[in-house]
Structure 1
Amino acid sequence: MAQGSIPKAIHLYATLGLHGLVHGPLSHNHGFELYTCAAAGTDDVRLSFGLMANYVTAEQIVLEAGHMVTPAEGRIFDGRAFRSWLMLERVDDFIPPLRLDNGQHVVFLNATPVFPEEAQTVKEHGLDALFEVWDEDPPRLSDLKRELPRPLRA
């Protein structure tokens, strides 16, 4: 951090123990935890994140970077256009992978709220295509009041 700069405050919501509840068919030694960051935390964010994590657990959904969790109906937050949670793996080691004493490896996936257009871009063209959009119009992903990136606007 540059001297004199003030870090932006964020609210962090995370799962604890998800790696022990959801197991992939190939390896019980690899697990994941989820977190999300919001510039302004609310009960709505906490509830929506918790419901998504409960769904992942109940359905035994193994998640990796690029996977999405989308509710059957509605938006993930009231009054906001986000429709899906996109799992991202950060490259800056914000929360680095963890090796537990029992040998299990745990990665931390950033569950990021995305607009329907962003989700569609990932479905049709892959995660790298969305990164290209974000490179053109960089979003602050923790800002739940952010707008749809310019390249995806009709």
Structure 2
Amino acid sequence: MELMGSMSVVEELREHYVAVVGSEPEYHEMRTRSGESVGVFEWPKGTSRMGVHLYASAGATRHGPGAREHAVELFLGVNTGSDAVKEGFANLILSVLKSNTVPQHGVFVAGNWKVIKGRKFTGWVLTERPDDLIPKLQLADGRHVVFLDALPVFPEEASYRRGNRSDELFEIWEESGLKSWDLDRDLPSVIERRSILRWPSWAQRNG
């Protein structure tokens, strides 16, 4: 089975994104060093009604025969887009695919490696936004898709995955007035710094 969804599902996703975002995306088939590919939609800043540079997945969980009733797609909004951000997001999609699971709100995808070239983030936390920024989608085959916001996290923030404490991290962010789309943000002052780094064997090297 291909890692990307079937083209019919990708087209359904594209139409849904266009209805929500208000404009047509660029489409990229991102290939990793291991030869696998994932689909990424991209809206450069100023080309959509979202007000950020937006990326969205085209098959973050498996589609087709034997797929689960419930699927998840990911999106990422940032103040400044780049190839490094796009590659990091593609690696996140691949990581979710390789897990063969359907992630839920509050799940961390993190390790001891930089996930975006030139940035200190070492993982992501996935959240189902309360404002339903990208609404759920029912596919033609009857399955439902939920869209999770992918937020890059520092290694110190990724440690909140132990004990499933993502809501605690979100509270810290809210109290700190943190802007999750700002890739130039600092670690909240109430969280102590520590060090990183290594690489997963399958990732595109972004560090």
| In 1, Cα distance between equivalents of 2:161 and 2:97 | 23
Deviation per residue, 1:52-104 (Å, 9 max, x gap): 21222233232111111124x42111221111111011010110111123211
Given that 2:62 and 2:97 are in contact with CA atoms closer than 8 Å, whether structure 1 keeps it comes out as no
Tell whether 2:176 aligns with 1:134.
no
C-alpha spacing 1:46/1:29, structure 2 compared with 1 (3 Å): same
The DSSP-based 3-state class of the residue aligned with 1:79 is coil
Cα root mean square deviation, aligned: 2.4
Q: 2:97 aligns with which of 31, 35, 57?
A: 57
Deviation per residue, 1:115-138 (Å, 9 max, x gap): 111111342461221122112202
Q: Which range moves more in the overlay, 91-100 or 56-65?
A: 56-65
Provide the TM-score with structure 2 as the length reference: 0.63
After superposition, residues 15-54 of structure 1 pair within 5 angstroms as 15-21=57-63, 28-54=68-94
Deviation per residue, 1:22-56 (Å, 9 max, x gap): 999xx821100011111100000001111221222
| In 2, Cα distance between equivalents of 1:109 and 1:39 | 18
The DSSP-based 3-state class of the residue aligned with 1:151 is coil
What code does the residue aligned with 2:171 have? E
Given that 1:10 and 1:40 are in contact with CA atoms closer than 8 Å, whether structure 2 keeps it comes out as yes
Provide the TM-score with structure 1 as the length reference: 0.82
| In 2, Cα distance between equivalents of 1:23 and 1:149 | 44
C-alpha spacing 1:125/1:14, structure 2 compared with 1 (3 Å): closer
Question: Percent sequence identity over matched residues?
Answer: 37
| In 1, Cα distance between equivalents of 2:184 and 2:65 | 34
Alpha-carbon distance, 1:13 to partner: 0.7
| In 2, Cα distance between equivalents of 1:61 and 1:23 | 16
Gaps of 5+ in 2: 1-48, 194-207
Structure number with greater CO (CA < 8 Å, separation at least 6) is 1
Given that 2:106 and 2:167 are in contact with CA atoms closer than 8 Å, whether structure 1 keeps it comes out as no
| In 1, Cα distance between equivalents of 2:77 and 2:65 | 25
